[in-house]
Amino acid sequence: MTLNTTTHRNSGTRRRGRRVLPTLAILGATLLTGCQPVTQSLSIGDMASAYNREIWWMSIWAIALSIIIFIGVSYALFYTVQKFREDRHDAPPAQFHGNNKLETILVAVPVVIVILLSVLAVKSMAALNPTPNQATKIDVLAKQFWWNFAYPEVTSDAGGVVTNGNEMIMPTREAVALTMTSGDVIHGFWAPNIGGQRAAMPSVQKTWQVDTDRAGVYQGNCSQLCGASHANMRYKVIALDQERYDATLAAMKAYRAPEPAPGSAEARGYTLFMQGKGSTGAASCASCHRVQGTPAAGVVGPDLSFFGTRRTLGAGMWEAMTEAQWTDAKAAGELRDWLKNSPRVKPGSLMPTYDGSEYMVKGKMVKGGTLTDAEIDDIAAYLRSLKLPEEADYWKGTAVHGAPNGGTQ
């Protein structure tokens, strides 16, 4: 008997082993090729958010009510079937037409149930919808396929509203009022750790509040199918405790893009960024992007003011969990590929190409300009130099929740 059991158990292990091996092989291949972008996971029902707690308790009450109804209806059904079972085939069943008492009960009970469920829903809506005046305000702009997060109450010393592309910084332990809109099609703002999801619609502005008690980096995705790179339309939410949040926003307000030293790679990159290269048809970056404290004020693409501090590229297509990863050779290669021909690495990207290949402008294919590899690297060097002061680096020491490495930095 014992021997048999052991044999069975062993064969079971072998069977499992055969299934595990291909999985391990795929996993290994993924790790070895390294081309798989690291992705942080979304967490629904994160209890660090008052928004999620409200939804959770509403659900618990609604489910409890449903269970009571289920038990009640089941009991009534079985009781009736049992008690009024047809055991003689002669008499017609008793009719209750005109039984006012019974009919009143049959109307009243569902009405009470609907009222109870409505009260639950309306109570939660009332708790979640108001945006108190003292809440931090963030304007969210969604576009194919990126995000801008602007702080309408924080005007930078260099002019313009403080804005960050694809990385949203918010304070912890207070309601944050997000006013959402879209620059083209309907997108969906979905960062479940800090609250539910909302549509970002063109020419409509909707305000909605989110919150979290726990500082950290959270993942956000676009949740509305919006085009070729819908799945590549990601962002980060960086929640900072009040003091650090205030310091970071103050640094952003005071920030002016550093002026590159004459003759440096950054200086050459700056010139290309601002002017492009007329002789080869390379478009200027500044006509589409803003960099705070420089003449670059474009609003067609995401704000690049703090690009060097950010750790995501291409709206979260590539992400680095550490500063070393953000600046290592792999990341440098990704940035180079991105700058050369963004639509090739991100389908549907509207950025011009700089390797001479064709790209789409308003539905028509046009030929892109060209820059040499050295010139591309100069622009990359300039972008990397767009950094907040060290103490305002909002990534540094901030826990990354739901990251594959457990969020250690």
State the DSSP code for 280: G
State the DSSP code for 392: G
Binding mask 130-169 for ligand CUA (x = CB under 6 A): ------------x--x------------------------
CA–CA distance, 302 with 299 (Å, rounded to integer) = 7
In a 3-state reduction of DSSP, which class is residue 405?
Answer: coil
Looking at 103-111, 121-129, 224-232, 261-269, which segment touches ligand CUA (CB under 6 A)? 224-232
Closer CB to ligand CUA, residue 145 or residue 306?
A: 145
Q: ∠ CA(356), CA(342), CA(354), 5° rounding?
A: 25
Q: Shortest gap between Cβ of 246 and ligand CUA (angstroms)? A: 31
Q: Shortest gap between Cβ of 286 and ligand CUA (angstroms)? A: 25
Closer CB to ligand CUA, residue 145 or residue 307?
A: 145
Q: Based on the shown chain and the rule CB under 6 A, indicate whether residue 291 belongs to the binding site for ligand CUA.
A: no
Closer CB to ligand CUA, residue 138 or residue 142?
A: 142
Q: Based on the shown chain and the rule CB under 6 A, indicate whether residue 172 belongs to the binding site for ligand CUA.
A: no
In a 3-state reduction of DSSP, which class is residue 26?
Answer: helix
Those residues whose C-beta lies under 8 Å from the C-beta of residue 406, and which sit 6 or more positions away, are none
Reading the block at residue 331, the tokens are 């990341």
Closer CB to ligand CUA, residue 197 or residue 275?
A: 197
Closer CB to ligand CUA, residue 37 or residue 407?
A: 37
Beta-bridged to residue 177, according to DSSP, are 137, 209
Closer CB to ligand CUA, residue 301 or residue 308?
A: 301
Residues 2-31 that bind ligand CUA (CB under 6 A): none
Q: Shortest gap between Cβ of 1 and ligand CUA (angstroms)? A: 59
Q: Based on the shown chain and the rule CB under 6 A, indicate whether residue 401 belongs to the binding site for ligand CUA.
A: no
Looking at 126-134, 218-226, 307-315, 326-334, which segment touches ligand CUA (CB under 6 A)? 218-226
Q: Shortest gap between Cβ of 144 and ligand CUA (angstroms)? A: 7
Q: Based on the shown chain and the rule CB under 6 A, indicate whether residue 224 belongs to the binding site for ligand CUA.
A: yes
| Sign of the torsion angle spanned by Cα atoms 327, 256, 306, 277 | negative
Give 34-40 contacts, CB < 8 A, sequence gap 24+: 34/330, 37/317, 37/318, 37/319, 38/319, 38/321, 38/403, 38/404, 39/219, 39/319, 39/404, 40/217, 40/218, 40/219, 40/236, 40/319, 40/400, 40/401, 40/402, 40/403, 40/404
Q: Shortest gap between Cβ of 332 and ligand CUA (angstroms)? A: 28
Q: One-letter amino acid identity for 160?
A: G
CA–CA distance, 274 with 257 (Å, rounded to integer) = 13
In a 3-state reduction of DSSP, which class is residue 387?
Answer: coil
Q: Shortest gap between Cβ of 219 and ligand CUA (angstroms)? A: 14
Closer CB to ligand CUA, residue 58 or residue 200?
A: 200
Q: How many residues bind to ligand CUA according to rule CB under 6 A?
A: 9
Cis ω for the linkage preceding 145 (within 30 of 0): yes
Cβ atoms < 10 Å from Cβ of 66 = 12
In a 3-state reduction of DSSP, which class is residue 179?
Answer: strand
Binding mask 181-200 for ligand CUA (x = CB under 6 A): ------x-------------
Q: Are 200 and 140 in contact (CB under 8 A)?
A: yes
**For tokens 């996993």, what's the residue?**
27
Residues 226-255 that bind ligand CUA (CB under 6 A): 226, 230, 233
Q: Which of 150, 176, 180, 222 binds ligand CUA (CB under 6 A)?
A: 222
Closer CB to ligand CUA, residue 272 or residue 313?
A: 313
Task: Tell me the pairing of strands 167-171 and 161-165.
Answer: unpaired
Closer CB to ligand CUA, residue 147 or residue 255?
A: 147
**Which residues of the shown chain bind ligand CUA in the complex (CB under 6 A)?**
142, 145, 187, 222, 224-226, 230, 233
